[in-house]
Amino acid sequence: MQEALGRNLRLVWTMNRRVMISLRRQSGQPVLRLHESFATAGQQLLGDLVQFLLHGRKAPQSIKDFVRTIESAREPRAIRIVTGGKHHDLRDIYRKLNAEYFGDKLAGRITWGRRAFGVKRSITFGTYAFDRKLIRIHPVLDTGLTPLFYVESVVHHEMVHEYLDTVEGIGRKRGKVHTRRFRELERGFKFYEMAKAWEKRHLNKLLRYQPERE
């Protein structure tokens, strides 16, 4: 991996769970900081990581899935639940989708994540922590730029994880979370195609968006 990214690359293993992948220059030298869990990753995943660092704007699904496994292994700690936003209320969205798509069978938790500042090369709009039955949504979506149907699509995606995990009992299988069954349910969201098209057109704006400091 170091040869592919440059022989003078310095690789630093960290335990930082908030920023698991970081590539920056320090005194002219490229420094790649990776969460220590990547040391156990296979060659295919490391190859995807190299391509993302060299050319990517959005992390490939393989890296997102690997990060999810790290997220779900976190030590338990108190979670501050914040559902109300300036533009979108996650509690209302969750309740609506639960009734419309999941038969009111879900009883998990949902919250806005922490605000992050600085230019981003990639962004994960939502996560589902299997161990805590907790959905986190990136606060960059709580803006006037983001339409309700797109926020709903992100929440629905994470609720499919919750549904398969808690109702069907097949949330994860050998580390793979986006199974054929998952894709089938995900495409059941009525604005699925519209949301994908909107994301493609507006991803760059979301990557550059800077939330207001409180």
Give me the helices (H) in 128-168, please: 148-166
Same domain as 104, residue 13? no
Say if residue 49 is in the same domain as residue 100: no
Q: Which domain holds residue 185?
A: 90-208
Instruction: Indicate if 159 and 102 belong to the same structural domain.
Output: yes
pLDDT of the chain along its 214 residues, tens only?
Answer: 556 566 677 888 887 777 888 888 887 788 888 888 887 777 888 888 888 888 776 788 888 888 877 776 655 566 788 999 999 999 999 999 999 999 999 998 999 987 654 445 567 889 998 878 899 999 989 988 899 999 999 999 999 999 998 898 875 654 577 889 999 999 999 999 999 999 999 888 877 765 554 4
Q: What is the CATH number of the domain that holds 191?
A: 3.30.2010.10
If DSSP codes are grouped into helix, strand and coil, which group holds residue 173?
strand
Residue in the structure block whose two tokens are 């006037």 = 144
Assess contact for 85 and 112: CB atoms under 8 A: yes
- Is 79 inside any structural domain? no
pTM of the model: 0.63
Q: 88 and 141 in contact (C-beta within 8 Å)?
A: yes
Q: Is 70 inside a domain boundary?
A: no
